[in-house]
Structure 1
Amino acid sequence: MNKKRAQQNSDRQARLAAIQAQQRASERKRSALIFGGIGAVILAIIIAVTLVIVNQVQANNAAKEAAAKPIEGVATFEDLGREHTDEEVTYEQSPPVGGDHSPIWLNCGVYTETVPDTNAVHSLEHGAVWISYQPDLAQAEIDALTDLVGSRSYVVLSPHADQESPIAATAWGLQLEVDSADDPRLAAFMEKYIQGEQTPEPGASCSGGITP
C-alpha cells in the first residue's frame, strides 16, 4: 500500500514538474515575442530617424552645392537707399529688395499675416532672407514653405499682398521669383544669401525689433 502511494506521489510530482516546465517554456516564448516585438519597433524607429537625418543632410549638401554656383533667375538691384525714416516709403519692387526703411527692424520668424515693408527691409539690411507668398497661395504650399524655413535664423516668412509671383525669395538687392514651394532654388537662395556677402550690416540682429 505504501509502495503504491509512493508511486502515486511520484507520478503527481512528475506531472507537476512537466506542467511547470511547460509554463516556463510558454513564459520564455511570450517574453521572447514581447521583447522581439519591442526590438523590432525600436529598430524601425532607428531606421526611420536615420533616413530622415540622411535625407536632411543630403538636402543640405545639395543646397550648399547649388549655393556655390550662380542661382538661375535671381534679379539684382543696385543703388538702393539706406536712410532711416518714419515716413511711408514707395518701393519700386514688390516685395521691396532694399531702400530707405524704418529705424526698427522686423523680428525674423514665421508670420501668417502681412508685415510692414519698411520694417522687413531693415531686416534685409541685417542679412535676413524674406520668403513671401501671395495670400491666396494653397495651404499645402504654405505648409511646405514653413517646413523649408523651419527654425532657421535670419529668415522671414510671410504673405505679401502686392507681389506678382506666387512665391518670392528676397535678400538685400536680390530677388528670386518661383511658382512652387518645392523649387530647389529656394533652399539654395537661403543658403547663399542668409548673412551673405550682399548684407550691408552683417552680424546685426534679427531679433529685438518689432513683431507686428
Structure 2
Amino acid sequence: MDSENNQNQLDAAKEAFSRREQKNREAAARRRKKTLKKAVVWAVLILAIFLVVFISSKNETTQEPTNSAEQFFAAQNRDHIKVGESHPAYNSDPPTGGWHYDQPVQSGIYDKEFPDEQLIHNLEHGHVWISYRADLDQESIEKLADIAKDFGSKIVMTLRSKNDTKIALASWEYLLKMDTVDEAATNEFIKDHRGRGPENIVDFGFKDFRTTK
C-alpha cells in the first residue's frame, strides 16, 4: 500500500513538474514572440525614418519641376543688401532667388519696371512674379492681367525689358518662360508655387496699379 502511495505521489510530482515546465516553455515562447514583435516594430520605424530622410534629401537636391517647361535654379542665398549695392550675377534671368533689397513691391499689376533685387524679396515671401516685355501685344497683357486678378494675393505683374522672352513667370527657385500666353501653363505654375517661398508672409492690398489700361 505504501509502495502504491509513493508511486502515486511520484507520478503526481512528475505531472506537476511537467505542467510547470510546459508553462515555463509557453511563457518563454510568449516572451520571444513579444521581443520579436518589438524588434519588428523598431525595424519598421527605423526604415520609415530612413526613407523619409532619404526622400527629403533627394527632393532637396533634385527639385524636379512639376511642369516640364519649368526650370529649377537653387537659390544662391537669401542675403539682404542695400539699394544700389553691387553683388555677383544671378544664376537665372529673371532671377529666382539670391541677393535682394529690404523692401518688396506691393502685390498687384504694374505697367512699369522695378529692380530685380526688389522683386526677389517678393519671391522670398511666396509671391509669383509675372514679367513681360514692352513688345508684348495688349491682348496678351490683358490675358495675363486677368489671370493675376483671378489669383490676387501674392501675385505681382510688371514690365521687364531685360527678359529674353516676351513673358516670364518667376517664383522662389522656379522659372517658366514663354513668348505667347499659355493660360493653362500659367495657371498651373501659379497654383504650384504661389505661397511656397521660404517666408510666407501674409499678403494684402493687391490691385491694378496701371496708369493706362
The interval holding the TM-score normalised by the smaller chain is 0.5 to 0.7
Paired position in structure 2 for 1:202: 200
Q: Match for residue 154 of structure 1?
A: 154
Q: Deviations over 1:25-48 (max 9, x none)?
A: xxxxxxxxxxxxxxxxxxxxxxxx
Q: In structure 2, what is the Cα distance between the partners aligned to 1:207 and 1:75?
A: 30
Structure 1 match to 2:67: 71
Matched position secondary structure for 1:150: helix
Decide whether aligned partners of structure 1 residues 204 and 101 sit closer, same or farther in structure 2, where only a CA change above 3 A counts.
farther
Residue 188 of structure 2 corresponds to 188
Question: Structure 2, unaligned stretches of length 5 or more?
Answer: 1-64
1:93, distance to aligned residue in structure 2 (A)? 2.2
- Retained in 2: the 8 A contact 1:95–1:117? yes
Q: What is aligned with 2:113?
A: 114
Cα distance change of structure 1 residues 79 and 150 upon mapping to structure 2, 3 Å threshold: closer
Quick one: percent identity of the two aligned structures? 29
* Alignment CA distance shift 1:88-1:205 (3 Å): farther
| Secondary structure at 1:169 match in 2 | strand
1:81 maps to what in 2?
Answer: 77
Deviation at 1:132, TM superposition (A): 0.6
| Residue 206 (structure 1) shift | 6.4
CA contact (8 A) 1:141 1:180 kept: yes
Per-residue deviation, 1:95:
1.4
Q: TM-score, normalised by structure 2?
A: 0.60
SS at match of 1:157: strand
1:165-176 mapped onto 2 (5 Å cutoff): 165-176=165-176
Does the C-alpha gap of structure 1 residues 107 and 153 become closer, same or farther in structure 2, counting only changes over 3 Å?
A: same
User: TM-score, normalised on structure 1?
Assistant: 0.60
Aligned residue in 2 for 1:142: 141
SS at match of 1:158: strand
CA distance in 2 between counterparts of 1:189 and 1:157 reads: 14
Mapping of 1:2-17 within 5 angstroms? none
Secondary structure, aligned partner of 2:158 = strand
Is the 2:73–2:92 Cα contact (8 Å) retained in structure 1? no
Q: Which moved more, 1:152-161 or 1:175-184?
A: 175-184
Q: CA RMSD in A?
A: 2.1
Q: 2: CA distance between counterparts of 1:82 and 1:207?
A: 25
Residue identity matched to 1:77: F
The amino acid that maps onto 2:160 is H
Counterparts of 1:84 and 1:122, CA distance in 2: 9
TM-fit CA distance, 1:115: 1.3
Distance 1:92 1:78 in 2: 8
8 Å CA contact 1:76, 1:173 repeated in 2: yes
